[in-house]
C-alpha cells in the first residue's frame, strides 16, 4: 500500500498541470491559461511499491464554462526512459525529494494497474489517505472478448 505523506510539493501538482494542460490538443480553453482546482480522484498501488499512481480530476474555470479533466499521473524517483514526451514536470517532495511526474497514459506501470483494476485484480485507493480503499470508485467491463495485450498487466517498474 502506498503511503500518503502530509507534506509540501514545489511546484504543486495543480501548478504543474496549469503549465502542462495548454499544450494538450484536447485542452478546451486553448486561448486562456487554466484556472484549476482539485475536484477529486483516486490512486492505485504499484505492486513493486516504486511508482505513485494517481487519477486526479481538476476543474478548469478559464473557459466560457467550466471544464473537468481526468488526468492519470505517475510519480517516479528517476526519469522514465523513453518517456520524455510524457513528462508533465518535476517537483520537490518535502519527504521523498525530487519527483518526475508523467502523463500516466504513457507509463507502463499505470497502464498495467489500470488493466488490473478493470479485471478486478487491483483495488482503488483513497486519493489523500494511506492504506484506505475508495469504495466510490468502481470498474465494470461489459461485452465479450475483453483481452489484455501480452505483458501489459505485468508491466515492469
- What is the structure's pLDDT at 96? 73
Q: How many helical (H) and strand (E) elements, i.e. helices and strands, does the chain have?
A: 2, 7
In a domain, 107, yes or no: yes
Full domain range(s) for residue 50: 9-154
Residue 138, Cα to own-chain centre: how many angstroms? Answer: 17
In a domain, 133, yes or no: yes
In a domain, 85, yes or no: yes
In a domain, 104, yes or no: yes
In a domain, 48, yes or no: yes
- What is the structure's pLDDT at 9? 79
- Determine which of 1-5, 70-74, 94-98, 153-157 has the lowest per-residue pLDDT on average: 153-157
Q: End-to-end CA distance of the chain, in Å?
A: 16
What is the pTM assigned to this prediction?
0.84
Q: How far apart are CA 60 and CA 55, in angstroms?
A: 16
- What is the structure's pLDDT at 8? 74
Residue-wise pLDDT for 69-101, tens only, equals 999 999 999 999 999 999 999 998 776 779 999
Q: Name the pairing type of β-strands 125-126 and 36-44.
A: antiparallel
In a domain, 20, yes or no: yes
Q: How many domains does the chain have?
A: 1
- What is the structure's pLDDT at 88? 97
Residue-wise pLDDT for 105-123, tens only, equals 999 999 999 999 988 899 9
In a domain, 2, yes or no: no
Q: For the chain, what percent of residues have pLDDT higher than 90?
A: 57
Amino acid at each position: 500500500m502506498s503511503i500518503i505523506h502530509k507534506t509540501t510539493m514545489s511546484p504543486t501538482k495543480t501548478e504543474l498541470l496549469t503549465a502542462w494542460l495548454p499544450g494538450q490538443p484536447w485542452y478546451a480553453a486553448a486561448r486562456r491559461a487554466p484556472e484549476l482546482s482539485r475536484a477529486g480522484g483516486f490512486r492505485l498501488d504499484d505492486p513493486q511499491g516504486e511508482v505513485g499512481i494517481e487519477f486526479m480530476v481538476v476543474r478548469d474555470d478559464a473557459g466560457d464554462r467550466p471544464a473537468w479533466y481526468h488526468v492519470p499521473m505517475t510519480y517516479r524517483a528517476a526519469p522514465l526512459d523513453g518517456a520524455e514526451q510524457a513528462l508533465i514536470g518535476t517537483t520537490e517532495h518535502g519527504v521523498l525529494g525530487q519527483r518526475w511526474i508523467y502523463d500516466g497514459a504513457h507509463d507502463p506501470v499505470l497502464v498495467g494497474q489500470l488493466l488490473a483494476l478493470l479485471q478486478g485484480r487491483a483495488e482503488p485507493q483513497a486519493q489523500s489517505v494511506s492504506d484506505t480503499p475508495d469504495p466510490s470508485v468502481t470498474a465494470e467491463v461489459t461485452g465479450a472478448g475483453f483481452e489484455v495485450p501480452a505483458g501489459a498487466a505485468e508491466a515492469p517498474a
